[in-house]
Amino acid sequence: MNRIQTYLQENYADEKEILLADGFEDAFVGVVESFGNKPKACYNYGACIDILMKDDMDYEEAVEYFEFNVTQAYVGEYTPAFIRLDLGE
């Protein structure tokens, strides 16, 4: 069991449906919760772009791929969330 699965099991054992974004484990920051919504895995947007750039994409290609194939993919109420942490940069 990896660190994310351990975290989810220890903190969200009753929420078996939380979905993870494959390939972005190093960008995982935790679980986001808000009233009236299911808890969702949350990833650092910038770190996800960095991961894609390690796979021989330049910045623009990584953003285009990520926004079209990842952030725009809805797979139900447990779809992962992506947070931009670049405020002030």
Residue 26 lies in a domain: yes
Residue 88 lies in a domain: no
Residue 40 lies in a domain: yes
| Global model pTM greater than 0.85 | yes
Is 49 within 8 Å of 63 (Cβ atoms)?
Answer: yes
Structurally, the chain folds into a number of domains equal to 1
Residue 48 lies in a domain: yes
Which run of H or of E encompasses 45? helix 45-53
The parent domain of residue 79 ranges over: 3-83
Residue 89 lies in a domain: no
Query: CA of 57: how far to CAs of 15, 25, 34, in Å?
Result: 35, 18, 34
Give the burial string for 56-89 (b: 16+ CB within 10 Å, else e).
ebeeeebbeebeeebbeeeeeebebbbeeeeeee
31-47 per-position pLDDT tens digit: 999 999 999 999 999 99
Distance CA 84, CA 27 (A): 11
Residue 27 lies in a domain: yes
61-71 per-position pLDDT tens digit: 999 999 999 99
